Amino acid sequence: MSASIETTPQNAPAPKPADTRGLAGQTAGDTTICSVNQTQLIYRGYEIADLAEHASFEEVAYLLLIGEKPDAAQAKAFRQELAGMREISPDIAAALAHVVKGNPETHPMSVLRTGVSLLSHSDPECEDNSPEAELRKAKRLLAKIPTLIGACQAALDGRELPANDPSLSHAAYLMLMLTGKTPDELATRIMDVSLVLYAEHDFNASTFTCRVIASTESDLHSAICGGIGALKGPLHGGANEMAMEMLKEIDRDVAAGGTTVSEWMTAAFESKRKLMGFGHRVYKNGDHRAGILRAWGLKYAEQLGPEAKKWFDLGDEVQGIMLDQKNIHPNVDFPCGMTYFVMGIPVPQYTPIFVASRVVGWSAHVMEQHANNRIIRPLANYTGAALRNWNG
């Protein structure tokens, strides 16, 4: 007697093959740094809401780079060490100002990528991939990236690059670099929380880019330049800028008359437009970071008044329609756009701010890759022309 074999009925439609483009659903390696799943986001064992409430960005950076949370003395020393390494050479600041003045349309992410590349030439350990040198390089990069961002923004604004104030946290110093002013306590706290939320997210596109570069035994600065290139795109980090631009567009169109928010959204759905700040490759029931950042941003907007709060009201309306009609949730970049906007930060600097945080995650992954390296080199499924002869 033959065993029964389940067969597909002759007339049943063939199952739709899974769309594996973009490596969707595939695990590409192990990591001890971070876990991203539907129910939790965890950095080295600590849940993101716990970190956003109780840890400073510098403490999170220490945790990610070194592996364990710092005690009070270690946290203080780490913060002081970073604050003492912020300066960049005047030549680099002048080179970035030259780029910006010669090409005012150049995106600040491109300026930042150039800045990191320039830093590599004066880093005495650029070519040293030992764990000790990589940690030192990671700290230097982390400390100096806000200054690179400041050199770009100061040139755009036509003002002097502010001097370092070592008493400022990474978040407050970054705000000083972006606006030329020392931020108030609430703005500093919100920037700090956003940096905690942005610091790490396992094998996202830019981190995977860094790991691919590191896997060839290339150096940390090269990997970070690659990470910046990958993060710049609007499907990834660039979405925080595009989300705010989209809200401004909706606001303008509605104010001009002839459309409502709901009609605007329907037209966007009909034209298959991608709505920036929505959707995620991993999170299908919502991004754990989005609600945390929205709450802080709303708090700041409420303090400023109705002109600022209107962006959160509009955001809520857009979010409600998206969820209702498409069942797609906002990702962290959606509240980020509104939050940085009401904090007075120039829109093209939103993604560079992401870099000022994610450089920590990228560096931790480069170190992890180098500690147990094998070159990343997948196979390709050839779908091109059949074999043919050059001479016919």
Positions that interact with ligand SDX (CB under 6 A): 22, 201, 204, 235-237, 239, 274-281, 328, 331, 333
Please give the residue whose beta carbon sits closest to ligand SDX in the complex: 279
Q: Of residues 202, 219, 287, 333, which has the active-site annotation?
A: 333
> Is position 280 annotated as part of the catalytic site?
yes
Closest approach of Cβ 217 to ligand SDX, in Å?
25
Q: How far is the CB of 270 from ligand SDX (least distance, A)?
A: 12
Q: Shortest Cβ distance from residue 204 to ligand SDX (Å)? A: 3
Q: Which of residues 155 and 353 has its CB atom nearest to ligand SDX in the complex?
A: 353
Q: Which is nearer to ligand SDX, 108 or 237 (CB)?
A: 237
Shortest separation between residue 160's beta carbon and ligand SDX, angstroms: 34
Q: Nearer to ligand SDX by C-beta: 57 or 78?
A: 57
Q: Give the nearest distance from C-beta 203 to ligand SDX in angstroms.
A: 8
Could you tell me if 177 and 147 are in contact, meaning their C-beta atoms sit under 8 angstroms apart?
A: yes
SS (H, E, C) 135-170: HHHHHHHHHHHHHHHHHHHHHHHCCCCCCCCCCCCH
Residues 6+ positions from 194 with CB-CB distance below 8 Å? 293, 296, 336, 339, 340, 353, 357
Distance CA 360, CA 365 (A): 9
Alpha helices, DSSP H, located in the chain? 48-54, 57-66, 72-83, 90-102, 108-122, 131-157, 170-179, 185-198, 205-215, 220-231, 239-255, 261-270, 288-304, 306-326, 333-342, 350-371
Q: What is the CA radius of gyration of the chain?
A: 23
When the beta carbons of 41 and 298 are compared against ligand SDX, the nearer one is 41
User: Tell me, what amino acid is at 365?
Assistant: H
In the residue annotation, 123 being an active-site residue is answered as no
| Annotated catalytic residue within 280, 288, 329, 370 | 280
- Determine whether 219 is an active site residue: no
Q: Please identify, using beta-carbon distances, which residue of 105 and 270 lies nearer to ligand SDX.
A: 270
Which residues are the active-site residues?
Answer: 236, 280, 333
